[in-house]
Amino acid sequence: MAARPHPLPERTEDLRESLRRDRAGLEASYLKKGNAAALLRSHSKLIDRYLRHIWQRLSMPADTALVAVGGYGRGELYPKSDIDLLILLSGDPDETLEQKLRELLGLLWDIGMEVGHSVRTVTQCLSEASDITVQTNLIEARLLCGANTLFEELRDAVKQALDPRAFFQAKLAEQQQRHARFAESDYNLEPNLKESPGGLRDLQIVTWIGRAAGLATRWSDLAQAGLITAAEARLIAHHDALLQTLRIRLHYLAKRREDRLLFDFQTPMAEQLGIEASANRRASEHLMQRYYRTRIFVRQFNTIVLQNLRDHLFRDTPPQHALNERFRVIGDLLDIRDEQLFEHTPSTIFELFLLLEQHQELSDLSARTLRALWRARQRIDSAFRRDPHNRELFMDIVRQPQGLTHALRRMNQYGILGRYLPAFGRISGQMQHDLFHVYTVDEHILMVVRNLRRFTLARHAHEVPLCSKLIAEFARPEVLYVAGLFHDIAKGRGGDHSQLGMKDARAFCKQHGMGSDDSDLVVWLVEHHLTLSATAQKQDLSDPDVIAHFAATIKNDRYLVALYLLTVADVRGTSPKVWNAWKAKLMEDLFRHTQRYLSHGKPIDLLSEVREQAATTLNLYALPADAYRMLWAQLEDSYFLDHEAQEIAWHTRQLAFKPNTSEPIVKARLSRVGEGLQVLVYCQDQRTLFARICDFFARMNFTIVEAKIHTTQHGYALNSFQIMEASPGNTAYRDIMHYIEFELAQRISAAAKVSPFSGGRVNRQLKHFPMRTEVGITPAQQNTHLLSLITGDSPGLLARIALIFDKHDIRLHRAKINTLGSRVEDVFWISGTMLDKSEPREILVHDLSDSR
């Protein structure tokens, strides 16, 4: 027997304390029992009780009413959500009533209720209901206390004014706008449980439209109306309960209204739910996979039921015609001619997606086709997967000249792709907190395939022109799409996902009758899909040995082209913020160097070639060889190998007549890669120079992506930097270049002590999912060592590293700075006596590990 509620006190401070205790009791009970629906109902009833008490205490006029609206109106009040109220009046308020209303609202805030309120007459409510949000609130209105006849008048008026068809169209448009707004990548990592696609709002819109149509307020009502089955009603109730649970716990953890599942709360929430880490994945990653899979199901459910509701409301008869003996077209929708088609002929599931590709005039599937497809997904079993006809149909889908991206995304959304490729099903909804992927593994894979397809479209040829040119000449591009499907399919299993993915790819190719040459290429691409990116961003591309070593892994030009295309598509598919013009240049440079190497069968004499090209360019500026002979005589061969001819010509034009200057020379220009700036620094060499330059750019919010450090034979530093804005958007480059040229030269001249910049905020993902710093030192060419550093990014990191080098008398020759989201993978070419001794090396590694 439930305990009788305690009497409520009269004094405001006592009421406030009473409400606080009652809410704390609800929280304790919920955390013990975990019943989300019961908590939402109990919280609503608790607030009902306090509001009725206060309404009576203030003796509110008999011709007014207090009405709950919105989520509170439907009896679902989350712990920290606003309490949405409508104070319904019979007419315009006089001064006495206005004073009463101010007293009421002030008291509600005084006792700790965060109220969202409106004060209106019935006429005003109907006028405001032209706003779809207001209209939605009103159809969920619930009388708390006051004039019942006035409330009934409002409810009747709202019902009479409601046009279910117009309401459906408005809510559908509202959902489409919301999905577009919350589809940004940031909401993948920290999703909004309420507003993101597949969130609570996608379920609420179904019940709103169902209520407007007079059909449903609960999932069981939809089942009774024949829109879903009883089993589907139970399944969606399960997913609804999970989203409610996450949002309730999020409110309690945040101690405020918070709907984004921020990094701050993912780990503690996983702990609350008893989710444990596994050998290869954090507890938070397991939690997020549950969420992502629920999100996928909710989107499926939302799509199917809205189609059914549309058919119920509009009952129109658009033109239709037979497509074949199994399918027909109704308007612009593909429809099955027999509701049991997928049950007795499962192979038609793949035929459906093939038809959607082949008939671009079709926009979607009919409601009954969606339902039949959803229910038939279990027919994709081992027998289905073994059927040669189904394998042939799947390859037909992959080989279609258009529509592949939409087909695969639909197959993933409806659970078909994961059923047909069980390995793909295992990574569905899987997120990894690696600081640069912002999509789940399945979404990333489909994004890579989408990028490959995008290369084939003329309207996107401006994005990566070389890729568009290469893929147009690439025979049987389905090889690339299959490699894209499998390149990350083994993520999260433990071990090298490239090696594990090879086995899956090899089995697929064999089962699907791909020729031996194409099968070998697919398997090789999966194995080596990280090789080109790692080489381009972490190796010295001016070193002929690097090119020769990379080329040794390439079988022929077709392999090179395929790897380049897959790599670009892969990097562009990790995050909108990772790809930039500098990465594009590095990868294109490696591609072209390797292509030349493969065509000649031996390294090219780059030194002679680049000097000749630079001299030719300088001749165009009427600069004779005598003018720069003195400068070039002071430069090592490594300088010419490290720079392109146009860079050497630019440097020479700035320095030819003052190679022995006593004042620092700083020059900046727009980068030839199409993004960012190139900066030349020339001065007498000095301690902490590199640290001072790094600190200067950090304070300007610029990121150094490459540094080429050279010391001339007469003791001058000739340093070249490629820099990019950390937050792109500033187009006033002329002013920025002037500022850099003047201010950086001043700071170099001052030679003041460097205090590395530590401003800015550390990325919250890095804060809550810290990564272990990895430092590696290996011998390189010409008495240098290659130092690799993998760590989390932080303000002033590069300046701190430079100071560590100075502290240990380490000379820096070159640096490649690779930032992937909040993760840095930097490479430095260094030299110094301590690098040949194990104990001093360990001290250096220790200092670098603590550099963050």
Per-residue pLDDT tens digits for 653-699: 999 999 999 999 999 999 988 888 999 999 999 888 999 999 999 88
Beta bridge partners of 320: 330
Higher pLDDT among residues 181 and 448, named by residue: 448
Confidence at residue 437, expressed as pLDDT on a 0 to 100 scale: 74
CB 92 within 8 A of CB 121: yes
- Residue 729 confidence (pLDDT) above 80: no
CA–CA separation, 199 vs 250, rounded Å? Answer: 14
CB 827 within 8 A of CB 786: yes
Which tens digit of pLDDT belongs to each residue from 487-520?
Answer: 999 998 888 999 999 999 999 999 999 999 999 9
DSSP 8-state code for residue 260:
B
Which tens digit of pLDDT belongs to each residue from 537-575?
Answer: 988 888 888 999 999 999 999 999 999 999 999 999 988
Confidence at residue 1, expressed as pLDDT on a 0 to 100 scale: 37
Our CA angle for 444, 447, 450, nearest 5°, is 160
Rg over CA atoms, the chain: 33
Higher pLDDT among residues 730 and 814, named by residue: 814
CA–CA separation, 46 vs 19, rounded Å? Answer: 9
Which of 30-34, 171-175, 351-355, 787-791 shows the lowest per-residue confidence on average (mean pLDDT)?
A: 787-791
Confidence at residue 433, expressed as pLDDT on a 0 to 100 scale: 65
Joined together, the tokens standing for residue 672 give: 């030839």
CB 753 within 8 A of CB 671: no
Bridge-based pairing state of the strands 811-816 and 823-831: antiparallel
Which tens digit of pLDDT belongs to each residue from 123-149?
Answer: 999 999 888 989 999 999 999 999 999
Provide the CB-side half-sphere exposure for 664 (13 A, CA). Answer: 23
Confidence at residue 79, expressed as pLDDT on a 0 to 100 scale: 97
* C-alpha dihedral (184, 186, 189, 190), degrees to nearest 10: -100
3-state secondary structure of 551: helix
CA–CA separation, 665 vs 744, rounded Å? Answer: 9
Burial class (CB in 10 A: 0-12, 13-18, 19+), 138: buried
CA–CA separation, 237 vs 216, rounded Å? Answer: 14
- Residue 216 confidence (pLDDT) above 90: no
Which tens digit of pLDDT belongs to each residue from 779-797?
Answer: 887 788 988 988 888 878 8
Our CA angle for 315, 323, 399, nearest 5°, is 120
CA–CA separation, 252 vs 273, rounded Å? Answer: 13
Which tens digit of pLDDT belongs to each residue from 452-484?
Answer: 999 999 999 999 999 999 999 999 999 999 999
Which tens digit of pLDDT belongs to each residue from 37-63?
Answer: 999 999 999 999 999 999 999 999 999
Computed over every residue of the chain, the mean pLDDT equals 90
Query: DSSP string covering 709-750, please?
Result: EEE-TTSEEEEEEEEEESS-----HHHHHHHHHHHHHHHHHH
pLDDT more than 70, % of the chain: 96
- Of the spans 267-271, 430-434, 723-727, which averages the highest pLDDT? 267-271
CB 570 within 8 A of CB 487: yes
Query: DSSP string covering 267-329, please?
Result: HHHHHHTT----SSS-HHHHHHHHHHHHHHHHHHHHHHHHHHHHHHHH-----EEESSSSEEE
Single out the residue of 573, 581, 542 nearest to residue 723, CA to CA: 581
Joined together, the tokens standing for residue 719 give: 């340093």
**Distances in Å between the alpha carbon of 273 and those of 300, 537, 769?**
26, 41, 19
Which tens digit of pLDDT belongs to each residue from 155-195?
Answer: 999 999 999 999 999 999 999 999 988 876 555 788 999 99
The alpha helices in 12-73, defined as continuous H runs, are 12-33, 36-57, 70-73
CA–CA separation, 665 vs 651, rounded Å? Answer: 11
Backbone torsion region of residue 704, taken as left when φ is above 0, otherwise alpha when ψ lies between -120 and 50, otherwise beta:
beta
Which uninterrupted H or E stretch holds 333? strand 333-336
CB atoms within 10 A of CB 2: 4
Which tens digit of pLDDT belongs to each residue from 394-427?
Answer: 999 999 999 999 999 999 988 899 999 999 999 9
Higher pLDDT among residues 403 and 222, named by residue: 403
At position 464, the amino acid (one-letter code) is V
Single out the residue of 239, 259, 295, 284 nearest to residue 442, CA to CA: 295
Q: How far apart are the first and last CA of the chain?
A: 59
Which of 168-182, 366-380, 636-650, 756-770 shows the lowest per-residue confidence on average (mean pLDDT)?
A: 756-770
Confidence at residue 436, expressed as pLDDT on a 0 to 100 scale: 65
Where do the DSSP E strands lie in 660-701?
A: 665-670, 677-684
Confidence at residue 816, expressed as pLDDT on a 0 to 100 scale: 86
Beta bridge partners of 825: 790
Name, in order, each residue with C-beta under 8 angstroms of 551's C-beta and a sequence gap of 6 or more: 594, 597, 598
Burial class (CB in 10 A: 0-12, 13-18, 19+), 336: buried
Which uninterrupted H or E stretch holds 142? strand 142-146
Where do the DSSP E strands lie in 384-482?
A: none
